[in-house]
Structure 1
Amino acid sequence: MSKLSPADLDRYIFSRTGATNDGLLVGAGYGEDAAAVEVGDTTLVVSTDPISLAAERIGTLGIAIASNDVAACGGRPEWLVSTILLPDPDTELLDDITAQLDAEAERLGISIVGGHTETVAGLARPLLSLTCMGPTDRYVPTSSAEPDDAVILTKGAGIEGTAVLATDFRDEIENAGVSSETLDRATGFFDDISVLPESAVLAPVATAMHDPTEGGVLNGLVELACASGVRIELDEGDVPVRPETRTLCASMGVDPLRILGSGALLATVPGDEADATLAALEAEGIDATVVATVEEAADESDVGVVYGGQQYTDGVRDDMYDLWD
């Protein structure tokens, strides 16, 4: 499983978007988390996302991931439509999933207003597809980072991936010598997946924001840089990684910067506003760090992220995908 390249997205997706109707402010584009539609005097942010691999907390993660995309554009997630596809008519599994959806939506103040549920022959595991919507006073795209902006990362790399490792692969990690206490703390990272609190702080000042999901923080930065036509040089030592994340990733042989990254929010802010923005986040109890500076690209070939001596211009495959194979 991996994301399509920017060229394939342009050819097969972004060039085939049906009719052009009035009111569309921002449509499909590389790296963009959500669309923006003008509805009367309001801008409505709309995003959709699937989830299939995190079996233990698929409903909890599904709500958080879908609403994060709206929040990453400055929106206030309020409504959600849920499609649930099951491999067989297992009402116990359905009960677990819908209980998780209900609890997380209630916690985040989101109403589940509709959807669809059915069984699909040949499906190996449950699949959710969630569409989230909410209004915004200021839409913030992924594609507006400017040279000299500071790149801020909230919380740290691999928050979601750590929680999924701690649940879906607990036995393997315990057998590798990781303590149950460490795994229990890592499981608690599910409580940190939502980025609604930091979005409320960052949206008024950010030039661009992005929700790093598949491929982790590294892929999120690549998408932000390429969408904005800029260059970002990333030093691994500048990216905060929690001790539990380092331990679990080492036990499974994956890179913390290349695993499921929900729970962190990437934002670029004018360089002279970085300190004040970090202070505002700290006042809300949100950890945040400046991890890089946006640079002007010398030419088209210079666009992307430089990390570990390599330039990245296409999507980064998530290290965790091979664990489910």
Structure 2
Amino acid sequence: MILEIGKLPTHLLEQNILSKIQPQRKEILVGAGVGEDCSVIDFGEEICVLSTDPITGAIDSIGKLAIHISCNDVASNGVEPLGILLTILAPENSNIEDISQVLNDAKKIARALNVEIIGGHTEVTTAVNRMVVSTTCIGKGKKRHMITSNGAKYGDDVIMTKWAGLEGTAILARDKKRELEDVIDEEKLQEAMNFMEDISAVQEGILAGKVGVTAMHDVTEGGILGALWELAEASQVGVEIQEEQIPLKKVTREICQHFRIDPLGLISSGVMVMTTNHTEKLLAKFKEKGLQATVIGKVIEGKSVIVRNGKKIPLQPPKSDELFKVI
């Protein structure tokens, strides 16, 4: 069976991977699962939260992205990231300056997030044809405050931060700049490139954890619709999403129209989805900190749907990210 580029389809992931690695030890509070961003280990009153991710869909700024995506995962459990293990796999004929640039970019972002790069691995290999960076992030928190992707309750509001397609827009603007210069004006293209500065969701995740949410999930491959499906699946509930309420920047829409891809299926690191019954308090806290958050739907019984032009359309499991149709 030939697979598409990107994450494994959910049914194949469950059948061939997750079914073989279910937790056996009582210390493992959260193991691998659809929609779960992290694993969680019980350390008494405290928990250790871990997440690992590679960067495979970008060329520019991969050191920055590598730190952000793993830290965002840990923050989706409402805890602060502490340390990062960083692996760099460089293709044949790489030079030391390229590797140093990846590390310098990673170090800069880690320092800004108060996260330590505590180890890893670096090598040149014929196994890759371009630079691949993988990170494992470690965080800790109080067990009683633990948040996962599987706690959404019927009647909760569904909230998303920032706007759909954030990371994918930044990647396309940078990696496809020459092509886009002919169709997007310079000011808009620069705006899209600057989205790279909005890819951290750590502040939002930690704040949401303090205020109180029932479930939280960061938006990566598969875009906002994929993340919503995963959260609902993990919680064994449905969600009803109002498409017109999903924030979307004009430049994202224009770039996606040019490449004929769906912005709602575009990788969106920097965006967090969460469910809560403390909506007014949470939105007020976000506004107080200058953070964007929008109510986009409700947790419901039954199947997940997106309401588009007044019509309810079933929400589908995430497929290969729209980014891979372009890069």
What is the TM-score normalised by the length of structure 1? Answer: 0.93
Number of the residue aligned with 2:221: 214
Aligned-pair CA distance for 1:313: 4.0
Letter in 2 for 1:160: E
3-state DSSP class of the match of 2:264?
Answer: helix
Q: Are 1:253 and 2:253 an aligned pair?
A: no
Number of the residue aligned with 1:119: 124
Aligned-pair CA distance for 1:5: 2.8
3-state DSSP class of the match of 2:284?
Answer: helix
Aligned-pair CA distance for 1:57: 0.8
Match of 2:192 among 161, 186, 193: 186
Number of the residue aligned with 1:320: 323
Number of the residue aligned with 2:139: 134
Distance 1:259 1:180 in 2: 22
Residue-by-residue CA offset, 1:98-146 (whole Å, 9 max, x unaligned): 1111111111111010101112214221111110001122221111111
Conserved in 2, the CA contact under 8 Å of 1:221 and 1:305?
no
Aligned-pair CA distance for 1:90: 2.0
Distance 1:313 1:266 in 2: 17
Q: How does 1:133-282 map to 2 (within 5 A)?
A: 133-137=138-142, 138-176=145-183, 178-204=184-210, 205-270=212-277, 273-282=278-287
Give unpaired runs (5+ residues) of structure 2: none
Structure 1's consecutive aligned runs of 4 or more residues displaced over 4 angstroms after TM superposition are none
Percent identity between matched residues is: 36
Deviates more, 1:205-214 or 1:6-15: 6-15
Match of 1:84 among 80, 85, 88: 88
Letter in 2 for 1:76: E
Aligned-pair CA distance for 1:165: 1.3
Q: Are 1:72 and 2:76 an aligned pair?
A: yes
Match of 1:34 among 12, 31, 38: 38
Distance 1:256 1:315 in 2: 13
Conserved in 1, the CA contact under 8 Å of 2:55 and 2:133?
yes
Aligned Cα RMSD in Å?
Answer: 1.6
Letter in 2 for 1:64: H
Distance 1:283 1:316 in 2: 36
Distance 1:136 1:249 in 2: 39
Residue-by-residue CA offset, 1:29-73 (whole Å, 9 max, x unaligned): 111000111124320100000112210111101100010000011
Residue-by-residue CA offset, 1:161-213 (whole Å, 9 max, x unaligned): 1111110111111122x111111111111111001111122113100000010
Distance 1:5 1:122 in 2: 24
Give unpaired runs (5+ residues) of structure 1: none
Conserved in 2, the CA contact under 8 Å of 1:73 and 1:203?
yes
3-state DSSP class of the match of 1:131?
Answer: strand
Distance 1:5 1:180 in 2: 37
What is the TM-score normalised by the length of structure 2? Answer: 0.92
Aligned-pair CA distance for 1:240: 0.6
